Structure 1
């Protein structure tokens, strides 16, 4: 995993968009974003370390998604576009990367929207990332065009995005998220 500020250049979303400004794990933690590195052993499906975190955090269900042209078929382009729309969920988003790589972008909240910045998080095999409910984020593949991830859920598997807008800005889960994070500078 590597985190840095997104450069906001209007080019292919799958490119690194590396501003050269690194983001620390402490900054991610202040945003409620959690990270673990849990290597995948040869022939192992999901390591016991992932199971231990799932048990500790109350994740009862899981599935595996293969985000690639082969895995999504005719839905590939539509799904890639929808994943990259800025949105939030009313549940945590938990992903354990089994293979491939991609980018999760999380919105660093600021008092004024024009001060907000995207933080790009490169996730690769063995990375486990938890995005808190209410955080604005998006996802895209990198130029390898494939990622295989275990999705963990506290209840029944669901993925309901709430795209950013005035109604989502006042969603109770968004409000709870904003009250939970500590104010951090907009470096």
Structure 2
């Protein structure tokens, strides 16, 4: 189940809002232009499914959203633990890339979670909104919104990505260290689920 935690932008000492109610989350994110939806989950799509299988399974929803927004590219990103010796380094590099606050000047960042979980931290309207996304959640971060994404120290997720621009993910980093001041994925995941990431 999705979770939204909102703090003042100054730090996480006081929680402004904490909810796992879909309607409350959607209503809280709407004023900052963030799209939040829940799509029906396909239980027949395993966590390690190929991109072709994932895209075909969610073809109806993808086509509907594409009809509304006319994306140039729709693809799948997947990162799950393996026995490969390179896994730890790959996971660390991937996490560090997205863990710094950034914006996208030319495109929205739209992700649908097919499996696993990750947290988008949205820094908007003098607040930080941590949106813990799981299987079935679609989140659309408007271009120009400062944010970061944390997948944890042992990432495990599959997501469909939607791009208006053919160049895909292009981040403009703010240089802020704000991400280091707020609870990370592992902390929130452990508290919320009772499990270590």
Common topology (TM > 0.5): yes
Residue of 103, 112, 130 corresponding to 1:96: 112
What's the RMSD between the two structures over aligned residues? 2.8
Superposed, which structure 2 residues align to 1:15-164 within 5 Å?
19=15, 21-22=17-18, 24=24, 25-43=26-44, 45=54, 46-47=57-58, 48-70=60-82, 73=87, 74-90=89-105, 91-109=107-125, 116-142=126-152, 145-164=155-174
CA distance in 1 between partners of 2:27 and 2:92 (Å) = 35
Deviation for aligned residue 1:143: 7.0
- Whole-Å separation in 2 of the counterparts to 1:30 and 1:154: 22
d(CA) in 2 for partners of 1:144, 1:136: 24
Kindly indicate whether the alpha-carbon contact (under 8 Å) linking 2:101 and 2:148 is maintained by their aligned counterparts in 1. Answer: yes
Comparing 143-152 and 48-57, the one that deviates more: 143-152
Measure how far apart 1:144 and its partner are: 6.3
Q: Which residue of 1 aligns with 2:180?
A: none
Tell me the matched-pair count: 153
Query: Which ranges in structure 2 are unaligned for 5 or more consecutive residues?
Result: 46-53, 177-197
Q: Is the 8 A contact 1:100 1:144 kept in 2?
A: no
With over 3 angstroms needed to count, the CA separation of the structure-2 counterparts of 1:18 and 1:139, relative to structure 1, is farther
Q: Deviations over 1:64-122 (max 9, x none)?
A: 1113444984332122112110100021001010100110010122xxxxxx2210001
TM-fit CA distance, 1:49: 2.0
Counterparts of 2:116 and 2:175, CA distance in 1:
32
SS for the counterpart of 2:162 is: strand
Question: Does structure 2 retain, via aligned residues, the 8 Å contact 1:2–1:121?
Answer: yes
